[in-house]
C-alpha cells in the first residue's frame, strides 16, 4: 500500500473513514479488498452476512487489521445506523434487492428495500453533513426510445435513440401491472430524493448507475450458496446451468442486448469517486463498458465456449433452450431492449475508462466459479442409493 495517495488534481488524499452498507455482498467485498490493500482508509463494514469478506476480517495479523470493522446489522431496524454514519466521513450505500425474479414475485419487498429502507440513510447523511455515494442501477433508464420506433425506421440506427445518458435520457417504464418495473421505479425515486436533498439542503452526493458488473463472488448459485428456488441474474443463471451441465435458458429467445463490465474495472471507478469528491459530488455516473455489448443469446454462446475451455468439459449437444418470460419469471414481467451506457461524464470528470474485454472477464468469472462450485454441485447432484 502506498503511504501517500494523490488525487486527480495532484493533491495528497487524506485518509477517511467509510461507512459501507452492504459491504458483505459482491460489490462490497471487492471494494473492501481494494480499500484495504491499496489505501489507508478505514471501513465500517455493515451487513447481515460477512461470508464474502471473512478473508479480510481474520486473522488479526493481516496488514490492514484494525482498519476494517464488521457490524452485523439490518438497516431496517437498527439504532446503531445513525451513530456509525456520524462517525464516518463518507457513507456508501450498496444495500438492495436486485434480482429480477424478485421484482415480479416480491414487489413489495423490492420497493421497501430499494426506497423505504434507503430513506434513513439519506436522512442521516443530510442531517449530519456526511457525504453519500449511493448505488442505483442502469434499470432506472427503463426502455429506450428506439424500442418504440417502427422496425424499419432509419432512426433506430441513431445512437441518440438508444445510448443512455445520465443528464438527458428519459426514464421510460412499462405499465403499473408490469411489476418488473417495481425495482427501477423505487431506485429512480430514491435518486430523485437524493438529488433534491442536494439541491435544497446541501447534501454532498454521488449516484452510481452500474451496468452489469461481473466477476468472482457475484450473485449466487441456487442450492449451493443461495436458495434452491432462487433465480439470480443472467450471468449467474447461465453459470449455474453450465456447472450442472444443463442447457442455458434463453428468455424470449435471448434477443435483449446488454453490456458487461469487469468488477475490478468498476471498482477503480468507485475509488476515483471516493478520493476525488470535488470532481464526483453532485454527479450521476454510468459505470459500464459499451465495448462489451452482446445479445443474451450471444452471451450464452460465448459463455459455453469459455466454460469448455476452463473446465475441460465438452459442450452439450443442445447448449441452449428457449423459454418464455412468463414461464421463467412469472406473470407481469417486462424488459428493456437495450442498455448501452454513454461514458462522457465519467470520462470527463474522473478520466475513467474500462479495460477488460468480455472474453477475459468471462474467463476470470467462470474459472472462479468452476473452482469454487463444481465439486459442491457434483455432490449435491448425486442421489443417495437405497440401502
- Name the residues annotated as catalytic: 183
C-alpha span between 267 and 214 (Å, rounded): 11
Cell numbers at 23, concatenated: 459491504
Mind giving me the DSSP string for 82-110? Answer: HHHHHH-SEEEE------HHHHHH-HHHH
C-alpha span between 356 and 239 (Å, rounded): 19
Q: Please enumerate in sequence order all residues whose Cβ is within 8 A of that of 17, keeping only pairs 6 or more positions apart, or say none.
A: 41, 42, 43, 44, 87, 88, 89, 90
CB 251 within 8 A of CB 328: yes
CB 244 within 8 A of CB 312: no
C-alpha span between 75 and 53 (Å, rounded): 19
Distance (Å) of CA 180 to CA 110, 354, 372: 10, 29, 31
* Residue 384: DSSP 8-state: P
Amino acid at each position: 500500500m502506498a503511504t501517500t495517495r494523490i488525487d486527480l488534481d495532484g493533491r495528497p488524499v487524506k485518509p477517511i473513514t467509510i461507512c459501507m452498507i452492504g459491504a458483505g455482498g459482491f460489490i462490497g467485498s471487492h471494494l473492501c479488498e481494494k480499500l484495504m490493500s491499496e489505501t489507508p482508509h478505514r471501513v465500517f463494514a455493515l451487513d447481515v452476512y460477512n461470508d464474502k469478506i471473512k478473508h479480510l476480517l481474520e486473522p488479526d495479523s493481516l496488514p490492514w487489521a484494525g482498519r476494517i470493522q464488521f457490524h452485523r446489522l439490518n438497516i431496517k431496524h437498527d439504532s446503531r445506523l445513525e451513530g456509525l454514519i456520524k462517525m464516518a466521513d463518507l457513507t456508501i450505500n450498496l444495500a438492495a434487492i436486485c434480482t429480477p425474479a424478485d421484482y415480479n414475485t416480491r414487489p413489495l419487498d423490492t420497493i421497501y428495500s430499494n426506497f423505504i429502507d434507503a430513506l434513513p440513510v439519506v436522512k442521516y447523511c443530510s442531517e449530519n453533513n456526511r457525504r453519500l455515494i449511493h448505488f442505483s442501477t442502469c434499470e432506472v433508464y427503463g426502455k429506450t426510445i428506439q424500442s418504440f420506433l417502427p422496425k424499419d425506421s432509419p432512426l433506430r440506427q441513431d445512437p441518440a435513440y438508444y445510448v443512455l445518458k445520465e443528464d438527458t435520457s428519459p426514464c421510460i417504464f412499462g405499465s403499473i401491472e408490469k411489476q418488473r418495473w417495481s425495482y427501477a421505479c423505487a431506485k429512480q425515486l430514491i435518486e430523485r430524493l437524493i438529488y433534491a436533498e442536494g439541491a435544497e439542503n446541501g447534501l454532498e452526493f454521488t449516484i452510481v448507475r452500474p451496468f452489469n458488473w461481473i466477476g468472482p463472488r457475484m450473485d449466487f448459485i441456487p442450492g449451493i450458496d443461495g436458495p434452491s428456488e432462487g433465480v439470480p441474474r443472467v450471468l449467474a443463471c447461465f453459470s449455474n446451468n453450465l456447472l450442472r451441465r444443463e442447457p442455458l435458458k434463453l428468455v424470449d429467445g435471448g434477443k435483449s442486448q446488454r453490456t458487461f463490465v469487469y468488477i475490478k474495472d468498476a471498482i477503480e471507478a468507485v475509488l476515483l469517486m471516493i478520493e476525488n469528491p470535488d470532481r464526483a459530488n453532485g454527479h450521476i455516473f454510468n459505470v459500464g463498458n459499451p465495448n462489451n455489448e452482446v445479445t443474451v443469446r450471444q452471451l450464452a454462446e460465448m459463455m459455453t465456449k469459455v466454460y469448455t475451455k476452463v473446465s475441460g468439459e465438452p459442450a452439450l449437444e443442445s447448449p441452449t433452450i428457449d423459454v418464455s418470460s412468463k414461464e421463467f419469471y412469472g406473470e407481469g414481467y417486462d424488459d428493456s431492449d437495450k442498455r448501452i451506457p454513454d461514458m462522457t461524464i465519467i470520462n470527463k470528470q474522473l478520466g475513467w475508462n474500462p479495460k477488460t474485454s468480455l472474453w477475459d472477464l468471462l474467463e476470470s468469472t467462470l474459472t472462479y466459479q468452476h473452482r469454487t462450485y463444481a465439486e459442491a454441485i457434483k455432490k449435491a447432484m448425486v442421489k443417495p442409493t437405497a440401502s
